[in-house]
Amino acid sequence: MLDVDLGIPVSAEQFIAQLFDTLSLPEFFSSENELRTIWSNPITRKALLGRLAEAGFGEGDLKEIQKLIDAENSDLFDVLEYVAFVKPTISRIERALATRPELNRALTENQVDFIHFVLDRYVATGVEELDDQRLPDLIKLKYEALQDGVEALGGVDEAREAFIGFQRFLYQAG
């Protein structure tokens, strides 16, 4: 990692101290609720990560912090929450399990089955699985044919809404 101001290599501990000292997080989000709102939508989440990278705190740096705070099984959301609001991290599996009851009430049976598949991938690999660009590939992985998956999920718009919509449940306050 590099010192944001000087371009000098620093340790992970120094990097976290710099993050606290030099990064004006209110510039990116002013409250925990705003962070949840931003993070729960793949489009605004991607924009936030881009803005953080432009400020010198890219995904790789956040993943280093994730390791340092022993949160490798957590979401990058938890890293930001920890840094900004000193909140304890939770694992992706805990987050996914807490979401399941809401899904059963909000989605069709086929959509719930698909989102459970997506959640399993999220738990195994991380938030990258929740990028909106991944939706067609995830449908193909689950259903083998994109058209079959889209039909099972109720159509293109319904599949997209289920995929993006469930993420609000994933990041709601627990």
pTM: 0.85
Report the chain's C-alpha Rg in angstroms: 17
Pair 129, 95: CB distance under 8 Å: no
Q: Where are the domains of the chain?
A: 12-85, 92-170
Residue-wise pLDDT for 26-75, tens only, equals: 678 889 999 999 999 999 999 999 999 998 888 888 888 899 889 999 99
Helix (H) or strand (E) holding 50: helix 42-54
The helix-helix angle for 76-85 and 12-22 (nearest 10°) equals 60
Tell me the pLDDT of the chain averaged across its residues: 88
CB contact at 8 A, 62 and 80:
yes
The proportion of the chain whose per-residue pLDDT surpasses 90, expressed as a percent, equals: 61
Report residue 55: phi and psi, to 5°: -85, 0
pLDDT at position 23 over 70 = no
